[in-house]
Amino acid sequence: MKKVLFIYYSQTEQTHKAIHSLRKNFSTDVEITEFRIKPDESFPFPWKFTSFFRQFPKCICRRPPKLKPIPKEIFKKDYDLVVIGYQIWFLSPSLPTLALFENPEFSSFLKNKSVLGVITGRNMWISGVKTMNQLIIGCGASKIRNIALTDTSPEWATFITTPRWMLTGRKNAFWFFPEAGIPEKEYLILEEFGKTLDQNEYSLDGISTAQVSHKQSFAALLMEKTGICFFIPWANLIERLSPEDSLLRDLLLVGFRVNLILLILLLLPITGLFAAITRPLVATKLNGYYKGLLEAK
């Protein structure tokens, strides 16, 4: 009997829904183990404003929380496929997801395993997936595939709708803004991909996730590349100059937020125009770049 492990963290329930969409069409003769990661430090949803931004330097500097223990029985089975469901926080894998790799038992467990990453988030996933690929490869996984489900609304809209949802819990459409979050059509794609996995007997051999995964727009790619260059020095500065959860840290984070807003307002029109002009010239290379990230090994 084939064995599949689903291990994931879900705060808004999008990742939970994605995992269950993927396994919906699995055969009844596959043994499924599902484990939801639970950090010692809770991350209530919706976020409190201050608490949300306090996670920024931790994400960039990779300072994850401790996790509640993973049952030992999970590591004793020989799985044909390991599915890791995660989301992106501040262009990085979420802190509970990063915490998985602080566990030596989990890291050694992934050796020679086939790993499928299921990513849920806004519409900037490249930096987070690169980080996860590096971590999974470092554990010795034999094969890595990724599939990204994202909010497919225009970038300019998600800069409003996503923070509104994260900080208030309200994701409904309003004024001329669309509903926040991953649309239903993305989950349907994942259901179909689940059928493909089932027909392939849960092997990643010959499986292309690049064909079905969301591909970031060139404008979003440019925004993200600039954003990560902006995030790293700010996170390092905040980490060096201020104790955790201190007034000084909160003041530095105010400075970060002001600069972030100014950067977004500056970059949105510039990257949009530049991407519109150059997109036809880089389309082939861009598709190859995405394929390399989504089908890393």
CA dihedral over 293, 230, 98, 41, signed as positive or negative: negative
Task: Decide which of 297 and 109 is more confident.
Answer: 109
Q: Is 258 part of a structural domain of the chain?
A: no
Does the pLDDT value for residue 211 go beyond 90? no
Number of domains forming the structure of the chain: 1
pLDDT band of residue 124 (cuts 50, 70, 90) is: confident
Interval 66-75 mean pLDDT:
89
Does the pLDDT value for residue 242 go beyond 70? yes
CATH number at residue 108: 3.40.50.360
Nearest to 99 by CA among 127, 70, 142: 70
pLDDT recorded at residue 2: 86
Q: Are 278 and 218 in contact (CB under 8 A)?
A: yes
pLDDT recorded at residue 206: 85
Q: Is 262 part of a structural domain of the chain?
A: no
pLDDT recorded at residue 188: 92
Give the number of other Cβ atoms within 10 Å of residue 2's Cβ: 16
Share of the chain above pLDDT 90, in %: 42
pLDDT band of residue 213 (cuts 50, 70, 90) is: confident
Q: Is 67 part of a structural domain of the chain?
A: yes
What would the pLDDT profile of 11-48 be if each residue is shown by its tens digit?
998 999 999 999 988 888 888 999 999 998 888 889 98
Task: Decide which of 211 and 242 is more confident.
Answer: 242
Interval 254-267 mean pLDDT:
87
Interval 246-257 mean pLDDT:
92
Q: Is 266 part of a structural domain of the chain?
A: no
Q: Is 165 part of a structural domain of the chain?
A: yes
Q: Which domain holds residue 171?
A: 3-218+286-294
Alpha helix positions (H), 119-200: 126-138, 155-168, 184-199
Does the pLDDT value for residue 283 go beyond 70? no
| The model's pTM | 0.91
Q: Is 256 part of a structural domain of the chain?
A: no
Q: DSSP string covering 193-230, please?
A: HHHHHHHTTT--TT--STTTS----HHHHHHHHHHHHH
Task: Decide which of 177 and 274 is more confident.
Answer: 177
Does the pLDDT value for residue 255 go beyond 70? yes
Q: Is 120 part of a structural domain of the chain?
A: yes
Q: Is 33 part of a structural domain of the chain?
A: yes
